Structure 1
Amino acid sequence: MVLRALAPPLPVAWVAADAAYGQDSRFRRFLEDAGLPYVVAVPKSQQVHGPRIEHLIDQAPDEAWQRLSCGDGAKGPRLYDWAAARLPAVWEFGGDQPTRQRWMLARRSITKPDELAYFLASAPWTPPSPISCGSLDVAGKSRNASRAPSKECGLDQYEVRRYVGWHPHITLAMLAHTLLAVTAAQERQKGEPTTTHPTSWTSPPPKSAVYWQPSARVLLDRATTR
């Protein structure tokens, strides 16, 4: 299915997936081999260089958490606390610089702090690897974006079991949602000032080679401008 999406000359900024796919290392490796950046959900038991991701996120310093919107809902912006850490870069054998950078990300409920969601992300390495934690907010936005067409355009309202019936329905639903999303974004941008979100701190690398970063905003800016 991903290969079919790559066949037409259409730009693919990010691939987002739920934990059913995200926990599959072969799926993540396939995306990396195809050169696709991704943000995928994983279960709390997901191992990241040995430890479980939930245990690594428990070690996040207070400064690593930033409150960001996960998109607009019926009652306004859906706010969560986000934290992300840069993982060791991926090197090809004999290469003089990394080829990809990986991150782990957590989203925490404001009203129920015990409710966390976990994500892994990867993108081509760009010196000096400017993508930081807060912009991995794209994870929530990308995955929540898949729920909007279900609610607004009937994405999940199909009763077929074969690809030939499923594909036209999904394609038309996503095209309708794209039109609605672009129109809504254009309306929101009218008269809105441009804002920036600088980062302001760094922390020493923990023993686990996990580098906590101050915000997910840089990744979000990059993902939304591709």
Structure 2
Amino acid sequence: MPRRDQRRWGGCYLRGLVPDARRKSVRPMAERLPDGNTQAPQQFVNQSPWDPLPVRRRIAERLSEAITPEVWVNDDVSFPQCGTASVGVARRYCGALGKRANCQVAVSVHAATDAASRPLDWQLYLPRESTDEPDRCRRAGVPDEAVARREKRRLALGMPGTLAGWELEAPVVVADAGYGVSTPFRTGLEERGRSYVLALNGKEVAHAGQAEPHRPAYGGLGPPALTVRPAGKQSLAAAQTAGGGRNRWDGILPARTLLAEWPHGQDAPTGHWIPNLPATVPVADLVRWVKMRWRIEHDYRELKHGLGLDHFEGRTRRGWHHHATLVTAAQAFLALRRLDPKAHTPT
């Protein structure tokens, strides 16, 4: 951060986030700190023009040095809100509550290994309810270039590129079925040269590997039919290759391995994943990578319940990104302490 007062109040804010306490919004944090006040941290988070990206980059560099990620995990998380004035709030299914409610949704990317995971970058999703009201976006400080509605998968697709621009890398991208079922997301990763192992929901159309493409004769009405594979269609439980989706689909998707989890005693598989990795990659490695996706649930739990990620009470886009960045820094501090308590003990 370029200014001394920004660094001062940034440190104050972090010291308010780390200790155990019920509420991590500005006023209760200021009341707990001997050098805290309400006005300065409020201005620092909501109005101060400091750029959060260089801060996130430094956090990501430190964490990647300590963790050496095997995968990057794309996911999203919801934050319940009482009203609709805050940036990005809309009524939708809220995973945090298990029902439809007013909430914000953020897309995140995490570095993960078998033993650790931490968030590296965030994007706040702007639903149609926000982008269809330009005045509402301007009041929330949303820049014009960010007003164009972008699906969560498009936000997620841009994140590996951001991390690569920070000279960070991970061999594989993993994500749940919310991203894996999207053909544009899968093809977008491939166009960017990314390897992936993505979850499916089990409802995708699949064909046996020996099925031959076939285009029905054109009847003269409407657009020509897409190329289809009429033979060998079956459920994912029995398939050896999988495909699905029609956005940007030319009728034939490339053959892919299907990874299925089929526990003993079950009548059908309980999970499906689609990798684009060579068939020579050991199945044990594929399984390890897809299971690493669950580590980030620990991240979300600590970020929300321990560090107050969902306690932000401001309404602006800038304020939300500042708060998310500082919460990420607080969690990074705790992660480094756990990995090597002596090396990161303050003096």
Structure-2-length-normalised TM-score = 0.33
Structure 1 or 2: larger strand share? Answer: 1
Structure-1-length-normalised TM-score = 0.48
